Chains A and B, each alone.
Chain A
Amino acid sequence: MELTPPGPPVQEGQDAVLRARGLRKRYGDLEVVAGVSFAIARGECFGLLGPNGAGKTTTLRLCLGLIAPDGGEIELLGEPVPPRARVARRAVGVVPQMDNLDPDFTVAENLLVYGRYFGLEDATIRTRLPELLDFAGLAGRASSRIQTLSGGMRRRLLLARALVNDPELVFMDEPTTGLDPQARHVIWDRLKQLLARGKTILLTTHFMEEAERLCDRIAIMDRGRFIAEGTPRELIARHVEPHVVEVHGDGLGEWSAVEGARLAARIERSGETAFSYAADAAPLVASLDRAAGLRYLHRPASLEDVFLKLTGRELRD
């Protein structure tokens, strides 16, 4: 599997577009963000991964200055947050998780009205419109009403709206959740174009494939903390064995207990499937070829294996 080359790690004192130190946020008895520190370098794509309720969205809201932290420091584009968050947001774009396009407006009006919130002149916004619409694949739909757009189009319009102020840094909260594969690939392609133009992206996701494809660096977040951080390759190399053999079928229990336990470095059972992790998969595969009734899939370890190992396999609702 092809992985994105590692991005530049941020050195202390280096030009970071976003820096957070010891961030904390508590709601009632629950510490939703429990001491988070990170820095994002210019031009980097930083991914925040985690199960539902891990604190990803709260971290984004803290960094945007929409809520006040209970502890820690934030610097967004050189401005202290929350005190100067409003000023810092002039050069920030936000793609929200929930569609909050203006349903009463056309595509073009949504962009025009949003641009005004940045203090942009109508004429300035209008000159940017064709490029934004083109980028969103909505050329020719300027006068369409929002209700007539598909889910993918609406998400692309949200992305275009986040770019109306030509931001340096774009926050994206689960940019492809709920989209079909075609629409998702289009969004990924657009995000790569943005990175190629030197924009910085901070995204949250629970799609591992998305994180592997786009992110230079990833932080896995759980219960308000970063539990792992690095490039996708580093995380895989550091936390899991390189080969995975997924086994299911009749006699799985017996095979796991005897052959699996002997040949795999580690076995995780999830429902009717045993995930066997190994540095060398050949002995496992050979054993499975002899076992009648068992079926298997041999694949390289992925970020998803890291994620499940670190955050567990139980449901998070």
Chain B
Amino acid sequence: MHAVYALPRLSLRFIPVWRRNFLVWTKLAAPSVLFNLADPTIYMLGLGYGLGAFLPEVGGVPYIAFLAAGTICFSTMNTATFEALYSAFSRMHVQRTWDAIINAPLALDDVVLAELVWAASKSVLSGLAILVVVYALGVVTSPLALATLLVVPLIGLCFGALGLAISALAPSYDFFSYYFTLVITPMAMLCGVFFPLEQLPQPLRIVAEILPLSHAVALVRPLTFGALPQEVLLHVAVLLAYGVAGFYAATVLFRRRLAS
């Protein structure tokens, strides 16, 4: 029984599994990039220029500039979450790809790690795409914004890990609606993506401070303004803690699920 609860064994054996997912992606890359890019860009432009026209300044900058950081974080979170939920679940449960892989000299831990790194990789691409758009539009100008690319993988790992834990629990795709309704949507609304956290009443603000996306935004937003973020260690530690806890839970839950 204790073997189920052992710490995840990390090994470079995850690479061939990551490459498998990458090869699938190269076949579907065009529509995939479009989805990752179009959706958040439309949100950002619509809200930024449309709603932004009514607002003087938010957080001391034009609203669209304020939104840029939120959109990067939101989009990274979403991409990692979708990959860890629908795509990973499909590979595990529907296509039985994982069953095939663990008949080879790979362990389930290798597969879970590969899925995590893959979800994070895809989400980095998402964050990068938004960054290119905001640079191209001149919404963001500071070279310091490039440092966002150091934060984005951490956001991807964090939400990829949480998503995998949910996948491990899911009996079917329908289950994911709970996670979106109860976790992802509140996070998008409360964590400073669309407006500053300071606007929230105290109780909601406390909730927001606990959620990982607030800490992602707190790291990325100053960078897009060309400033260094405050309390970097705290924010990084919260994202890491969620990621590590999620990854451990996912590994244990997948071990239990696939060994029955």
Contacts and interface: CB of A to CB of B under 8 A. Distances in A.
A104 B27 contact: yes
A102 B20 CA distance: 9
Interface residues of B, number: 25
B3 A96 contact: no
Contact of A102 (B97, B258, B259): B97
Contact of B105 (A103, A109, A119): A119
Residue among A90, A100, A101 with the most chain B CB within 10 A? A100
A89 B16 contact: no
A27 B97 CA distance: 24
B97 A118 contact: no
Interface in B1-29: 3, 13, 16-17, 19-20, 23-24, 27-28
A142 B27 CA distance: 17
A117 B106 contact: yes
Q: Secondary structure of the A side of the interface?
A: loop
B95 A117 contact: no
Interface in A214-261: none
Interface stretch (A42-50, A62-70, A178-186, A189-197): A62-70
A288 interface: no
A89 B95 contact: no
Contacts of A92: 103
Contact of B103 (A68, A96, A104, A109): A96
Interface string B93-107: 001110111111111
B105 A102 contact: no
A269 B95 CA distance: 43
Contact of A86 (B27, B96, B107, B259): B107
Nearest to B106: A117
A100 B105 CA distance: 17
A175 to B, nearest CB: 14
B96 A114 contact: no
Interface residues of A, number: 28
Contacts of A109: 23
B212 to A, nearest CB: 31
Contacts of A3: none
B24 A104 contact: yes
A90 B259 contact: no
Contact of A113 (B20, B28, B99, B103): B20
Contacts of B185: none
B166 to A, nearest CB: 23
A109 B16 CA distance: 13
A165 B258 CA distance: 24
Interface string A94-106: 1010101111110
Interface in B82-122: 95-97, 99-107
B23 A64 contact: no
Interface in A165-205: 165
17 contacts: A67-B259, A68-B3, A68-B259, A86-B106, A89-B103, A90-B105, A92-B103, A98-B96, A98-B99, A102-B97, A105-B23, A105-B24, A113-B23, A116-B19, A117-B17, A118-B105, A119-B13
Interface of A: 27, 64, 66-68, 86-87, 89-90, 92, 94, 96, 98, 100-105, 109, 113-114, 116-119, 161, 165
Interface of B: 3, 13, 16-17, 19-20, 23-24, 27-28, 95-97, 99-107, 258-260
Given A100-B95, A117-B104, 6 more contacts: A68-B259, A96-B100, A102-B20, A102-B95, A114-B100, A116-B20
Please give me the 4 A-B residue pairs with the lowest Cβ-Cβ distance, nearest first. Answer: A117-B104, A100-B96, A116-B16, A94-B103
